[in-house]
Amino acid sequence: MKRAFAAAAVLVTLAVVSLLIGASDVSWRALFAPEPDERALQVLVISRLPRMFAVMLAGTSLGVAGLIMQMIARNRFVEPTTAGTAESASLGLLTATLLAPGLPVLGKMMVATVFALAGTALFLLVLRRIPLRSALIVPVVGLILGGIIDSATTFFAYRYDLLQTVNAWTTGDFSTVLRGRYELLWVTLGLTCAAYTAADRFTVAGMGETFTTNLGLNYPRIVALGLLIVSLVTAMVVVTVGMIPFLGLIVPNLVSMVMGDNARRSIPWVAVSGAAFVLLCDIVGRVVGHPYEIPGGTIAGVIGSVLFLYLLLKRGARVG
Amino acid sequence: MSASAPSVSPLRSLLVLGCVAAAFMALFMLVDVSGPWDFVLPFRGKKVATALLVGYAVAVSTVLFQTVTGNRVLTPAIMGFDYLYVLIQTCLVFFLGSTTVAGLDPRLLFGAEVIIMVAFSAMLHGWLFGMARGNVHLLLLTGVVMGVLFRSLSSFVQRVIEPNEFIFLQDRFFASFNDPEHELLLLSAVLTLGVSVLGLRLLRACDVLVLGREAAINLGVDYQRTVSWVLALVAILVAVSTALVGPVTFLGLLVANIAYAVMRTYKHAFVLPAAALIAAIALVAGQFILERVFRLDTNPRVIIEFVGGMVFIAMLMRKATR
């Protein structure tokens, strides 16, 4: 209980800080004076609050998506950017943009989801064909597969002059979030809750196919549900703010070091820690590069890969 | 490739490769000239020279690296060397300021970059090989993640530099196949030549290194010293190729493994030139086919990355990692 309070306190603190920093002055005094400052209130409602929500939603859903993937692939190092999921979603978006430019965001998101599903399925198929699978080879295959898909995306983006657009999908950047441009992300909250209700099934699936079937559960269906949740989340995050690398890998691993591997117990923790982590990255990006901003995704990439290396060299020797 | 017959001598394979490379270069230089010759030839000659230099640097550094690590899947590029160079370059610009850098002699700057690169990569890889001794998978994954880290750090530093300055930098420092600076090309050629002359003395030792660490020590090779030397040369070559055209991830893997298959010998005196020629063919032919046949304005690099990545995964599927 104590831990839960501490975590909540940290999250709330970060969220408040996120609301208060920025180019225009939004302070308590301006908001809660008897004569509230009209402009500060507008900035808060149109820009700051949406940004805070977007950051938290992206962090939460990506963290939980990573956890689900790790259960399904039975590997600690799998997450949307180490399994080709994110890169496939980008390719899907590009395809939608090129072939059906008039498609509404929701339609593009669906195309991206289908691509993300296909890419992740391809990754799982490739894994099956790799002999003597060491746990460490799995993310390497995923990263390279992502690279291959990415080079296809680059090829077409370069031809049709869309490289900048593609870059926006691959680097998580929250500076463009405004009211009316991020609401799709609320759907990820629903997906996270869905994952929570199915948590025990994912835990069982993590024990393997035979074990799951022996308990009378439908293994392929659980895997399909998990992949659907992961692909939807990835596609939505890519469409609205851009991908945040390694988040889904770092957060569940750190949580599992403390909590163990029961999904029902760890999902809330992963959700809170994911939100806090991205909030922190976003805040750092806004403070360090002042008056310019550094995208939160870039900060997350640096911190994430350092933590990934730490996890690898601390645990990897035992896993390999 | 006519080298499928077992009776073909390595020397003959080399000759064939040389002829193919020369043919493609001639094609690239002479076909479709629609302008004054005295403009077109130097212009294209520069492209060919770049391709040759980069091909040579990438191929030789990859083969040497694989000899030292005793593994045919690891390459300097996969281990994050290329992005390390980009990071060093970005940091130099950041700490010196772009105005200073713009005023500096590019040769001086390049020299400084190479020295830092060699020192840094020696430290890093010494530490890494110590950490992950004997665990190839761990080494591979750590290398890949290091690459990601260097890339993220570079983009972080590039963001900290003022946006306007950054645009200036990008034009100046992140070169493409089409137009590296003249001086840089010359300097790279001199450096590469120097490395090659130094490397000649290591060829014999490298042939023994293929047998593995213990065997090499038993046969009287000063293992530690040789490996350190080879890694230093690798770092210089990577710096050369990255400075000229930016990071190329899979070209090395591709050409090195084709060279092993074609040459069927462990002698570096044959494998190294073969790999370099294959790389030159891949780059020049790729550029030629893309530009003239398909009329595409695309860098051959993207295609090479695509194919190379597939080969990499196929190699993992075939249990190629020992």
* A290 lies within 8 A of chain B by CB: no
Name the minimum distance, in Å, from the CA of A310 to any CA of chain B.
Answer: 10
For residues A294-310, give the mean pLDDT: 91
DSSP 3-state assignment of B267?
A: coil
The dihedrals phi and psi of A27, each to the nearest 5 degrees, come to -130, 165
Q: Which of B131, B120, B46 is nearest to B83 (CA)?
A: B120
Check B145 against A305: CB less than 8 A apart: yes
Report whether pLDDT(A64) > 80: yes
Q: What is the pLDDT of residue B2?
A: 44
CA–CA separation, B76 and B74 (whole Å): 7
CB count in 10 Å sphere of residue B28 = 21
pLDDT tens readout for residues A222-244: 999 999 999 999 999 999 999 99
Grade residue B111 by pLDDT with cuts at 50, 70 and 90.
confident
CA–CA separation, A196 and B95 (whole Å): 48
Q: What is the pLDDT of residue B1?
A: 43
Q: Which of B254, B273, B253 is nearest to B263 (CA)?
A: B273
Angle between helices A186-197 and A219-240 (to 10 degrees): 160
Q: Is B300:B287 a contact under the CB 8 Å cutoff?
A: yes
Q: Which two tokens stand for residue B91?
A: 């940091």
Residues 6+ apart with CB under 8 A from A196: A64, A264, A267, A268
Check B313 against A137: CB less than 8 A apart: no
Grade residue B43 by pLDDT with cuts at 50, 70 and 90.
confident
* A172 lies within 8 A of chain B by CB: no
Q: What is the pLDDT of residue B321?
A: 47
Q: What is the pLDDT of residue A202?
A: 92
Check B137 against A295: CB less than 8 A apart: no
Lowest-confidence pick of A122-136, A176-190, B258-272? A122-136
- Closest in A145, A151, A320 to B135, CB measured: A320
List chain A residues with CB under 8 Å of B170. none
Mutate to test the interface with A, among B148, B250, B296, B305 (most CBs of A within 10 A): B148
List chain B residues with CB under 8 Å of A126. 313, 317
Q: Which of B59, B32, B3 is nearest to B281 (CA)?
A: B59
Largest CA distance in chain B: 62
Lowest-confidence pick of A41-50, A79-88, A129-138? A129-138
pTM: 0.84
DSSP state letters, A23-81? SS---HHHHHSSS--HHHHHHIIIIIHHHHHHHHHHHHHHHHHHHHHHHHHT-TT--GG
For residues A128-133, give the mean pLDDT: 74
Q: What is the pLDDT of residue B322?
A: 44
Burial code (b: 16+ CB inside 10 Å, e: under 16) for B284-296 equals bbbbbbbbeeeee
Q: Is A89:A218 a contact under the CB 8 Å cutoff?
A: no
Q: Is B264:B219 a contact under the CB 8 Å cutoff?
A: no
Check A137 against B321: CB less than 8 A apart: yes
For residues A139-151, give the mean pLDDT: 90
For residues B291-316, give the mean pLDDT: 79
- Closest in B148, B297, B309 to A148, CB measured: B309
For residues B316-322, give the mean pLDDT: 62
Average pLDDT score, chain B: 81
pLDDT tens readout for residues B62-86: 999 999 888 888 888 888 888 888 8
Q: Which two tokens stand for residue A207?
A: 């024990």
CA–CA separation, B155 and A295 (whole Å): 10
Tokens 């072939």, residue located: A99
Q: Which of A199, A74, A191, A62 is nearest to A124 (CA)?
A: A74
Greatest mean pLDDT among A110-124, A146-160, B154-168 lies in A110-124
The dihedrals phi and psi of A54, each to the nearest 5 degrees, come to -60, -45
pLDDT tens readout for residues B3-16: 444 557 888 888 99
pLDDT tens readout for residues A186-224: 999 999 999 999 999 999 998 888 999 999 999 999 999
- Tell me whether the omega of the peptide bond preceding residue A291 falls within 30 degrees of 0, making it cis: yes
CA–CA separation, B249 and B151 (whole Å): 13
> Counting beta carbons within 10 angstroms of the beta carbon of residue B277, is it exposed (0 to 12), middle (13 to 18) or buried (19 or more)?
buried
CA–CA separation, B140 and A142 (whole Å): 13
Q: What is the pLDDT of residue B167?
A: 67
For chains A and B, CB pairs below 8 A equal 120
Q: Is A235:A188 a contact under the CB 8 Å cutoff?
A: no
Nearest residue on chain A to B156, alpha-carbon basis: A298
Q: What is the pLDDT of residue B133?
A: 63
CA–CA separation, A254 and A273 (whole Å): 9
**What share of chain B has pLDDT > 90, as a percent?**
11
Q: What is the pLDDT of residue B168?
A: 64
Check B310 against A299: CB less than 8 A apart: no
Q: Is B117:B235 a contact under the CB 8 Å cutoff?
A: yes
Q: What is the pLDDT of residue B320?
A: 47
Q: Which of A73, A77, A58, A1 is nearest to A192 (CA)?
A: A58
pLDDT tens readout for residues B212-238: 888 888 998 888 888 888 888 998 998
CA–CA separation, B143 and B74 (whole Å): 9
Report whether pLDDT(B242) > 90: no
* A152 lies within 8 A of chain B by CB: yes
Nearest residue on chain B to A310, alpha-carbon basis: B142
Write down how long chain A is: 320
B1 against B37, higher pLDDT: B37
Greatest mean pLDDT among A24-38, A102-116, B126-140, B149-163 lies in A102-116
**What share of chain A has pLDDT > 70, as a percent?**
93
Grade residue B53 by pLDDT with cuts at 50, 70 and 90.
very high
Q: Which two tokens stand for residue B111?
A: 């020299």
On the CB side of A236, CA atoms within 13 Å amount to: 27
Q: Which two tokens stand for residue A133?
A: 């699978």
Q: What is the pLDDT of residue B174?
A: 52
pLDDT tens readout for residues B165-205: 666 666 655 544 445 567 778 888 998 999 999 888 888 88
CA–CA separation, A298 and A288 (whole Å): 12
Which run of H or E residues covers position B280? Answer: helix B268-288
Lowest-confidence pick of A1-15, B100-114, B176-190, B241-255? B176-190
Average pLDDT score, chain A: 88
Nearest residue on chain B to A314, alpha-carbon basis: B131
